[in-house]
Homo-oligomer: A and B are copies of this chain.
Amino acid sequence: MKLFPKEINFFEIFDQMASNVRKGTTCMVGLLKDFDRVEDRVQEIYSIEQQGDIYTHDVMKKLNKSFLTPIDREDIHALATRMDDILDRIWAVADRIKIFRITTGRPDALEMARDIDRTVEVIDRAMQELRQKNYEHVQEHCIEINRLENRVDRNYKTALASLFEGETDPILIIKWKDIYEHLESAANCCEDVANSLEAILLKHG
């Protein structure tokens, strides 16, 4: 008989959430790499984002009913919300590609997407370590998340510089500037997840 049956559930959902976000970032990498089956891939990312919403609502509902939680309620709330924010941005990137009718990729966007995908892989591992209370490992993963976020940020600047230097069509500049901003925002959301994890470590570490 488990003493705290609820305790396991939250971490299970966080695990599932992180895997789901990873599915989204991997799919985004494929879209920005191949630029084929755009309609299908955007639809796939949309389904993943919808699944993310279901997980988030599940967390909130369980939070509502739980008397005992393994970590503070507001930290569970923040982690779930911020993981969901990553998927929102990924979905925004995919959606913009469809809305703007973009048919050719840019290497800088692919590079940023790949680093975001790597970051979410680290978030996924951090969630597993959190579940097993390996707080030092969580801390290490947070450092790695921040390192990757810095790299995305640098690539974002390189991407902007190259866009304004190489492009003369202002409408194309508007479109890609918007997409780069959403990619950078996705990386910032990953950093927010790391900040949430560090806030938990402050209390439990």
Contacts and interface: CB of A to CB of B under 8 A. Distances in A.
Interface in A179-205: 198-199, 201-202, 205
B170 A171 contact: yes
Copies of this polypeptide in the complex: 3
Interface in A155-192: 157, 160-161, 164-165, 168, 170-171, 173-175, 177
A107 B197 CA distance: 43
B101 A199 contact: no
A133 interface: no
Q: Give the secondary structure class of A's interface.
A: helix
Interface of A: 60, 63-64, 73, 77, 95, 99-101, 157, 160-161, 164-165, 168, 170-171, 173-175, 177, 198-199, 201-202, 205
Contact of A77 (B170, B173, B199): B199
Contact of A170 (B60, B164, B174): B174
